[in-house]
Each structure stands twice: as C-alpha cells, then as structure tokens.
C-alpha cells in the first residue's frame, strides 16, 4: 500500500503526471532523521538534517499561497537574475539577531550549523544557483532604536522546514516543469525521528496539495479608510533642505532620505494578488515576500545588493532616477536628461566608487562597466552600473559580502559613517526592513540578496509603503518629493490603492 505521504500532488495532477512518494522514499526520509539524531549524539550539538526529491509542475505563486496558511512563517522569492524561485514554509531553526553586528552574528551561527549536515533523497538537477538546505530571510536597514518592539527583528533568518525551488521559463511566469522539494530539520540527541519525519511530510502536503476553498479568490476593491504621510510633505521637504545645507557645509557627500505612507483599509489587503500584479507589471524586478506571524513584508526590487555564484560575485550600482515619458519622444527626452545631469551622474558615481572599493580586496579580478546604462521600469528609469569580480580561492561568502556592502550609498549615503550618523539624528523614521536586504544563502556560501526597496509592510488591513531618494548638494526638495511619489506607485497599484 502507498504511504500516507503518497498523496502528494496525486489529487492535483492529471493521471499521466501523477507520482507517489512511495514507502521507500518515506523510509529514506526517516533514515536521514535517524542518522542526524545519532550524529547529534556523537557531536554533542544540534545537527542539520535535509532530504530532497524532485516534484513536477511547481507553480511558485500557488505554492506560496498555501504555505502562508500551512505555517506562521513563509517566504517567496522570484529572482530576476536567473528566473529561479524559492518558496518556504515553517521553520527548522531560527537565526535571529539585533544590533549593529546582526549580520555577522547570523553568519557565524549559520557557518556552525551548516557544517557537515546529514542529507539524503534525490535532489533535482537543473536548479538555479544554490544547493542543499538554505538559510532565508532578511535584515533591517539599521538597528531599531525605539522603545517599542519592531514588527520584524533587526535580522531574521531561518532554515525552512519545507523548501521548494525551481526555475521559471520566463520572467513573468511562476510555473516550472520540474522543481525540488526539500525537507529540513535541526535535531538534537533527544529528538524523535518518527515525529520529525511525520511533521515534515504533513507540512509538505499542506503546501503541495490544493486546499478547501482555494479557488475562491474573488477580491473586493480596496476601500480606503485613511492614510497619513510620515513625515508630512512639508516636513520632509524641510528635511531635504536641511540635508542640502549640511552637504554644502562639507559634512558629507550624499544622504538617502526615506518616507513612509501608512494606509488603513476597510478590509485586509490581498497580499498574493498584490504579488501577482507586481510580477506582471515589473518582470525585470526580483519579487519577495516574507511572512512572520501577522506581518508580511513584500516588494519588487530592481536592485540586488550582492549575488554569489561559485567564485563570481556581482553587485549593482543603481542610483539616479527620472520618470518614464507618456510618449516615446518624451521618454527619450527624460533619458537624455538623466544621462546628462551633472547632479545625477555624481550621485551615481558615489555608489559605484564604494562598490568597487569594497570588492577590490576580495577579488582576483574586478570588472566595472565603463559607464552607466539606463534601466527602464514601468514607472521610472534609473542609471545602472554592474560591478563583477572573481573571488580569490578562499573568498568571503554571501553573508560576509552582505555585511560588507550594506548599506550602500544608494540606500544610506556617503561617506557611510557620517551620512548614517546624520540620518540617525535627523530622519526620525524607523525604516525597519525597508532599504535593508532580503535573500538567502546555501551551506557553501552561495546566494542572493536583494535591496528591499519598492516595498511595503502589511498587517491585515494596514499597510506601510516606503520610498526614498538620494540627496546631494544641489538637490531640489520639491523634485525629490515628486521622485518619491513616483517610486511609491508600483506598490500602491499592486495593493489596489489609488
């Protein structure tokens, strides 16, 4: 007889495409859990156990819809760089931290946990960057300073209990013909292998199988109750003017100012529908959604902080913004202004210089594009410069690079210490994860981190939407305010807000 786990996908697929997780596979998972418990006894420390199998017809958005109900914590990731997607549900192990050294603390704990995991099963071939069990999550822009506990920790990364990966055939697609299901657990010598394997299989079923009422997704138009700008438009423009005065006095070269708009609707926001709209409207962006309890942090970022594939490290200087035109002629005019603006070129160069200097010592070879290109999104266009290097043999891993680069001048300012100190004393906004980083690392240190911009923090019928822009010595407060309004547009459209 087939095991209880053999129902995976069978009810959801046509007869010809059905498959079963047979008794031998179930016993293989149990064997991995048993071997991990034995290893924990021998090593006298917790051990990471990970088991994998191929799964057909994976649709990342559908899987993520289910994962949001299967566990209180989940993640969705769709990379614009290699079309890879990742869906997770549940938590095998938490690696959270607070304070200035939050990324370094997570990295040290992950390196210890990821050493010599106990693995089994049949991993899939043809997956995008990364392999094996992953560490996923995000970090804040800066450590929280207020007395109140923030919605998300300064750094929240975890090993997911259920991890599903694949590669979509197109930038706008969510489905892949083949993916990988991976079940992870962190065990100690007292763990029960039978209960662990049963729990993992149950959660996998919840993610992979259609659930009752799943097709009933009719959404009502959003009815807005109220909204508030933090700070107000007048106060934010005054803040820009104050920053300009400080730069003209030589305090620093650039600072990035953010603002928040809070919305309260009559009914809860439809987060999966918002991600679907973002994916359709911004195929060149990397989509992410992190759910922790009642809070969901979502976004569509055009900017990656760092990406590490083998020995190739990549980062992106994205700074300098102008609107899209209503006609091809107007659009081309805006592009000429963008590429010809002394102010914008200076702002962009500050970012590229920092990236080049940060990567130089870690790389045997470093390539910086000879000049910026223009990245055209649906609502704005940016100056963009890629920086790529080849690591020395014993180079840093993805988390070390994230710690090294975050925050770049595109999110904080330059010089880093002076601009961040000014922000801490003047901005008056608890950014949380906005302008922080979201991404993942595998056990070998490969991974991706996106810059968490074009983002929103959602809790039920409440949404905080964020935007920011780089300020230099000749910035105009009204122009900068209008730029933030343009940057808010993607998330407002996705959430159904006018």
Query: With contact defined as beta carbons under 8 Å apart, do 49 and 33 qualify?
Result: yes
Out of 62, 180, 303, 400, which one is annotated catalytic?
303
Task: Compute the Cα dihedral for 156, 160, 164, 165 and give only its sign.
Answer: positive
For residue 187, give Cα distances in angstroms to 26, 165, 246: 18, 23, 54
Cα–Cα distance, 3 to 45 (Å, whole number): 32
List, in sequence order, every residue forming a beta bridge with 286; answer none if it has no partner: 301
Out of 205, 254, 347, 427, which one is annotated catalytic?
254
Reply yes or no on whether 303 is catalytic: yes
Is the preceding omega at residue 407 within 30 degrees of 0, hence cis?
Answer: yes
The CA-CA-CA angle for residues 163, 164, 165, to 5°, reads 120
Give the 3-state secondary structure of the chain: CCCHHHHCCCCCCCHHHCCCCCHHHHHHHHHHHHHHHHHHHHHCCCEEEEEEEEEEEEEHHHHHHHHHHHCCEEEEEECCCCCEEEEEECCCEEEEECCCCHHHHHHHHHHHHCCCCEEEECCCCCCCCCCCCEEEEEECCCCCCCCCCCCCCCEEEEECCEEEEEECCCCCCCEEEEEEEEEEEEECCCCCHHHHHHHHHHHHHHHHCCCCCCCCCCCCCCCEEEEEEECCHHHHHHHHHHHHHHHHCCCCCEEEEEEEEEEEECCCCCHHHHHHHHHHHCCCCEEEEEEECCEEEEEEECCEEEEEECCEEEEEEEEEEEECCCCHHHHHHHHHHHHHCHHHHHHHHHHHHHHHHHHHCCEEEEEECCCCEEEECCCEEEEEEEEEEEECCCCCCHHHHHHHHCCCCCCCEECHHHHHHHHHHHCCCCCCCCCCEEEEEECCCCEEEEECCCEEEEECCEEEEEEEEEECCCCCHHHHHHHHHHHHHHHHHHHCCC
C-alpha 470: how far from chain center: 21
Question: How many of the other CB atoms lie within 10 Å of CB of 69?
Answer: 13
Reply yes or no on whether 254 is catalytic: yes
Cα–Cα distance, 124 to 251 (Å, whole number): 53
Active-site residues, by number, are 254, 303
């Amino acid at each position: 007889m087939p095991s209880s786990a053999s129902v995976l996908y069978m009810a959801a697929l046509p007869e010809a495409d059905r498959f079963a997780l047979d008794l031998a596979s179930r016993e293989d998972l149990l064997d991995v859990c048993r071997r991990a418990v034995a290893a924990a006894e021998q090593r006298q420390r917790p051990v990471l156990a990970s088991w994998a199998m191929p799964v057909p017809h994976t649709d990342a958005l559908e899987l993520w819809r289910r994962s949001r109900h299967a566990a209180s914590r989940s993640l969705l990731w769709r990379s614009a760089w290699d079309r890879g997607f990742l869906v997770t549900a549940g938590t095998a192990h938490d690696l959270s931290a607070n304070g200035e050294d939050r990324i370094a603390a997570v990295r040290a704990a992950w390196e210890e946990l990821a050493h010599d995991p106990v693995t089994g099963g049949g991993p899939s071939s043809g997956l995008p960057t990364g392999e094996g069990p992953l560490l996923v999550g995000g970090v804040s822009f800066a450590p929280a300073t207020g007395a109140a506990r923030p919605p998300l920790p300064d750094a929240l990364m975890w090993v997911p209990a259920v991890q599903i990966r694949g590669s979509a055939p197109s930038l706008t697609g969510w489905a892949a013909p083949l993916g990988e299901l991976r079940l992870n657990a962190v065990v100690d010598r007292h763990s029960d292998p039978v209960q662990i394997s049963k729990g993992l299989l149950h959660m996998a079923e919840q993610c992979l199988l259609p659930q009752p009422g799943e097709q009933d997704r009719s959404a009502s138009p959003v009815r807005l109750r109220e909204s508030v700008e933090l700070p107000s438009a007048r106060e934010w423009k005054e803040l820009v003017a104050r920053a300009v005065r400080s730069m003209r006095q030589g305090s620093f070269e650039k600072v990035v100012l953010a603002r928040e708009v809070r919305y309260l609707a009559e009914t809860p926001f439809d987060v999966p529908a918002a991600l679907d709209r973002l994916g359709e409207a911004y195929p060149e962006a990397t989509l992410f959604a992190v759910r922790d309890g009642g809070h969901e942090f979502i976004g569509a970022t055009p900017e990656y902080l760092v990406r590490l594939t083998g020995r190739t490290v990549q980062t992106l200087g994205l700074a300098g913004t102008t609107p899209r035109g209503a006609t091809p002629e107007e659009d081309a005019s805006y592009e000429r202004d963008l590429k010809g603006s002394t102010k914008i070129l200076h702002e962009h160069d500050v970012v590229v210089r920092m990236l080049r200097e940060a990567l130089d010592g870690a790389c045997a070879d470093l390539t910086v594009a000879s000049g910026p290109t223009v990245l055209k999104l649906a609502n704005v266009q940016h100056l963009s410069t890629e920086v790529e290097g080849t690591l020395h043999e014993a180079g840093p891993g993805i988390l070390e690079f994230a710690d090294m680069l975050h925050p770049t001048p595109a999110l904080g300012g330059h010089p880093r210490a002076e601009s961040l100190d000014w922000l801490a004393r003047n901005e008056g906004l608890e950014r949380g994860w906005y302008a922080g980083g979201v991404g993942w690392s595998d056990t070998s240190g490969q991974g991706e981190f996106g810059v968490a911009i074009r983002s929103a923090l959602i809790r039920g019928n409440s949404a905080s939407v964020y935007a920011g822009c780089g300020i230099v010595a000749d910035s105009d407060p009204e122009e900068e305010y209008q730029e933030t309004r343009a940057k808010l547009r993607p998330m407002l459209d996705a959430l159904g807000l006018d």
